[in-house]
Structures are given as C-alpha cells and as structure tokens.
A and B are shown apart, each in its own frame.
Chain A
Amino acid sequence: MNDHPIQIENVSRSYGKTKVLSNLNLSVKKGSIYGFLGRNGSGKTTAIRMLAGLITPDEGSVQILGHDPFLAGAEEKQWVGYMSEKGIIPPNVSISRVLQLGRELYPNWDGALADALVGKYNLTPKKKISTLSQGKQRLLAFIMAIAPKPKVLLLDEPAANLDVVARREILDEVLGLIRECESTVLFSTHILSDVERVADEIGILAGGSLRVSESLDSLKDSIRQVRFYGFPGALPENGIEGGFRTVRGRDEFLVTMRSTGLVTPEEQSRRWKCLYETRPLSLEDIFVELSLYQEPKP
C-alpha cells in the first residue's frame, strides 16, 4: 500500500448492459504523476469516480491509501483531493462559502495557498458559483482539490475549458504539490502535451482495460511502427502475434509493435524473409494506434 497509494485490481463495471470497465488493473507509485489516457467513453471517468468513492465496482477491488474509497470515512478522505470533469460545486453558494467548507472539513487545509490561488486566478470571493465561467469553476474545483494538501490527487480532465496559461499554472501547482508533499497524482486528459510535460507514467485505457501502463520514455522506446516490405512472394495470411495494430498494404505490412516484445521485428523479418524498417512514434501516434487496436477475442 505504501508504495502504491492507488490500486485497482481486476475491476469490472457496467452501466446497464454496457460494460465500461473489464478486468482493469492499475497501480500508481507513490510520488508519481500518472497520465490516464483513453478515448471518450473508454471508462476513465468511471475509474476515477470509483477511486473518489462515488461508485463501486461490480467485480474486483479499488484501494486508495489502503482503504476502500467507497467505505472510507472523513478521516481517510481528508488525504484525497478530487476534481471532477463536470462542474459539481453547488451553483447557489459563493466562492468564499465553498472555501469556508474546505477550511472546516480539512485539518490540513492550506488557507494561504487557497487565498493565493484565488487571487492568482482572479476569483472574486463574493461571487456565486453560478455566475462564474466554466473555466473559473474548474479553477475553483482545482483549489478545492489541492488546498487540503492531499496525499492522493485525482484530477478528471483538469484542463478542460481552460486556456493555455491556466492549464500550465495548474500543472505547475501539481508539480509543486508533488515536491512539497510527495503526493501521488492521477489525472485524465485528452491533451497529450500536458501528459508529456508532467507525467511520470502513462496508462492508455481501451476496451475497458489498460493497453499499456509504463513510463513515457519506456513507451516511446519500446513501441514502434515497423514496415515489413520486400516479400519474396505474396503477403503472408497472418499478421504478427503479439503486435498491436496491423495495416495490410498491397505488398507491405505496417505493424505497431513492441521492439522488445515476444517477437522482435528482426525475428519476424527473418521468418518472412523480408526487409523491415522501424520508425519512432510520438505519444499521439502511440495513443491512436493503441486505441484503434482491437484485441483478438479468445
């Protein structure tokens, strides 16, 4: 638990007949920033809502700091900061009333930090939430998540509706929190440049489970697009075992695969008696390739 404050094991969850998560396994190392990627509807928010204690899995277990977040009490929840992808702060109250709630509920509430961020983001304390723009509401939600100095910070699409400057400021605050409190951060986003900027580890969710979960450098090093060409005869019928997406051309294969997988490009080219060349992929390419890849049914 101490090394991995966030743990999801064999979790499945359905909404009606739609299975959103299927046997999801995920763990995040203490003090790291985990970028949680996936297409719309891939189940990122469902997984984060489970970690926030809002919903329970149908199967499997979820733990934050060694506790089931759904059953966790105030004592345990004071160490978890959460920012939803939606505006969930009640619209009828003022900013100062929301901050007051934070002060009253969290013993570790950093009032100076909250006040500084309110000033930095030009939030007027007397204003009601309903009068704020979507972006300002998100900034307040971020303050509410970060000011308790949480050990675990869950950010669901923190950058949505924010301008570039605000996004960068948020990322800087997250990095500051990590430095100061050794917090563990899991954040979902569609903005891959944010992930490249701050994430230590990346998970790509597709088909209800993680396609990959590793450091950005390792991911970029190991996943390549390989072009097999110069076949002596017709193209082989079967693709590559252990590869991700395969695009079959007229006289070539384009395969996204791990350079260190079960079958290396070199071995495969020997088997096929063909030539090959590899090209590195950007994070965006990797994301697209892995998201589009359909796992073969057992």
Chain B
Amino acid sequence: MSTIKQLWTLAKFQLAVTPGVSYLAIGSGFSCIADFVLFVLFRDSKGPTSLDLLISNQLIYFVLIFGSIWLVPNLGGGRKRQSIGAAGTEFLLTRAVDRHLLFRSRSLLFFFLLLIIPLICFAFSLHQPGQKLFESNGSLYQRVMQELPGSMPQAPDTDGKLKYIFLPEGNILIGMWRIWSPLFLGITTLSLLTFAQKYKYVWWLFSPLGLVLVIFYCFPTVFSHGFFGVERDELDPNTAFFFFYATHQTLCWLIAIPALFLSLLWYERDARQIN
C-alpha cells in the first residue's frame, strides 16, 4: 500500500474515531468564516470595523486543545495505560500500518483542521483585498497608521462623523495572520506535547496544567476587548503580536515553515518510539 493511500486511509479513520475534533473545527470555522466573510464581502453595508475584531479567533484554540488529544499516544487511560483506547492507537498500531505513518496522519490532520478555515478566509481576502478600519482607541489608531503598510486615513462619511483608515491590502494581511497565528500555536503545541510525552506526567497537560495552558493561550484574545469594561491604553498582547507579525512578515514565515517541518519530524520520530 502506498504511503499516500495509507495516510488517506488512516486520516479518514481518525476522523471517524474522534468526530468531536472535526465538529469543533467546523464549528470554529463557521464563526470564523461568518465574521470574516461578512467583513470582507459586506464591508460597505456593515461599515468599517475594528482591528481587534478581525484578528481575534478564540474558537481555534478549542481545535488546538482537543486536536492535540490525538497527538499524545499515551493519553486516555491516565498513568496506568500505555496507549489510547479512545483514539484507537493500540488498535491501529496492531493493524497493517507503518508505525510512523499513523502519527504522521494525526499531525497532518491536526494542522489540516487547524488551517483549513483560515485558508478559506484567505481565499476570500484575495477576492476583496482592501479593508476599512475604524479605531476609536488613539494608540491603536497611531500604530495602524505607522506600522500597517499602505494605511491611509479616509475622509469622514456623508454624515461627517465616521472617520476610518483604508488598508489597500488589509484583508490579505489579516488573512495571512489568521493562517500564521494558528500555525504558530500549532507548532508550539506539537513541540510541547512531543517534549512532554516522554515524561509520565504528560497527563498533567490535560488537567490543571492544561488549564493553565489554555488560559495562557486564550487570555490575550479573550480579554482583548477590555476587561470588565475598563478601557485600556496599551495594546493587548494579541494585538501587539499582530503588529509584530505585520512588521516582520517575512521573518515570521521564514521561521514558521522550517519550524513546522521540524516539529512534524520531531513528533513523528519520538511518537513512533513510544512503547
């Protein structure tokens, strides 16, 4: 059986075994597509929007967390069991499959689910590259004007009240960010799990320590629109990270692509040794 055919067979079976993750990916995708498509296609009817709204995508974190359940071969039975019943690791390892391809299929599927919706969004952004931003926060307005390429302040609307910034390739920039940020988090998660699964306390990742990680991941975006109504002056971490990305795009992608391959190889090499 060829490698591709085996990967395809395993990926299909994995999807059937852990349907929850697919539902999450689709669920998060709907929300993701819905807001993005609305902002892209119906921009004029909806009016300018804020950068915060466009760059946050909290639901993708659930795909990250639950998707990673596939990736840890000795998760499921706690400390005592060596392999998963629920995700079918032991079952699949004792079928006619190449050990490394089982783990490769899981990591590829994980990134596929993580990135498929952002990629669709990106396709929409190519259709409508320009974006109008409305920023009431002064410091954010300044940062957009200074750091996002091609930003132009626009004249007030007909009623004379609304003033916005036009970004000729804003949707493409945001679309790329929406691919890069989950990719970056996916690489981080995969590497973290690869490192941690050698140790018998890996299950911590899915208990209190896991909770800490979730907060670590989610905090920047979940609380990005102000905490209990308190206005902020400084940018929240997620927005600051976006500006870092916007000003270092080439560097970010130059790091992400090799890191993706290295993390996949590292994961596959280590996971196949687990026994």
| Chain A residues in the interface with B (C-beta under 8 A) | 52-56, 70, 73-75, 77-78, 82, 84, 86-93, 97, 101-102, 104-107, 144, 148
Query: Contact between B1 and A90 (Cβ–Cβ < 8 Å)?
Result: no
* CB closest chain-B residue, reference A101: B13
Check: B16 CB closer than 8 A to any chain A CB: yes
Q: How far is the CA of A92 from the CA of B9 in the complex (A)?
A: 17
Query: Contact between B88 and A74 (Cβ–Cβ < 8 Å)?
Result: no
> Which of the four size classes fits the interface of chain B?
20 to 34
Query: Contact between B85 and A52 (Cβ–Cβ < 8 Å)?
Result: no
A41 nearest CB across to chain B (Å): 14
Interface string of B74-116 (1 = CB under 8 A from A): 0000000011011110110111111101000000000000000
Query: Contact between A90 and B94 (Cβ–Cβ < 8 Å)?
Result: no
Which chain B residues lie closer than 8 Å to A53 at the CB level? 93-94, 99
Query: Beyond the given A88-B88, A90-B91, A101-B95, could you list 11 further A-B residue pairs with CB under 8 A, ordered by the A residue number?
Result: A52-B94, A54-B275, A55-B275, A70-B275, A90-B17, A90-B86, A92-B18, A92-B19, A92-B86, A93-B13, A105-B1
Check: B224 CB closer than 8 A to any chain A CB: no
A74-B6, A104-B9, A105-B1 known; A92 vs B16 contact (CB < 8 Å): yes
Query: Contact between A90 and B88 (Cβ–Cβ < 8 Å)?
Result: yes
Sampled A-B contacts (30; CB under 8 Å): A52-B94, A53-B93, A53-B99, A54-B94, A55-B275, A56-B275, A70-B275, A73-B98, A74-B96, A77-B94, A77-B96, A77-B97, A84-B91, A89-B88, A89-B91, A90-B17, A90-B88, A92-B86, A93-B16, A97-B16, A101-B9, A101-B13, A101-B95, A104-B9, A105-B6, A105-B96, A106-B95, A107-B1, A144-B95, A148-B96
Query: Contact between A105 and B9 (Cβ–Cβ < 8 Å)?
Result: yes
Which chain B residues lie closer than 8 Å to A77 at the CB level? 94-97
Which chain B residues lie closer than 8 Å to A56 at the CB level? 275
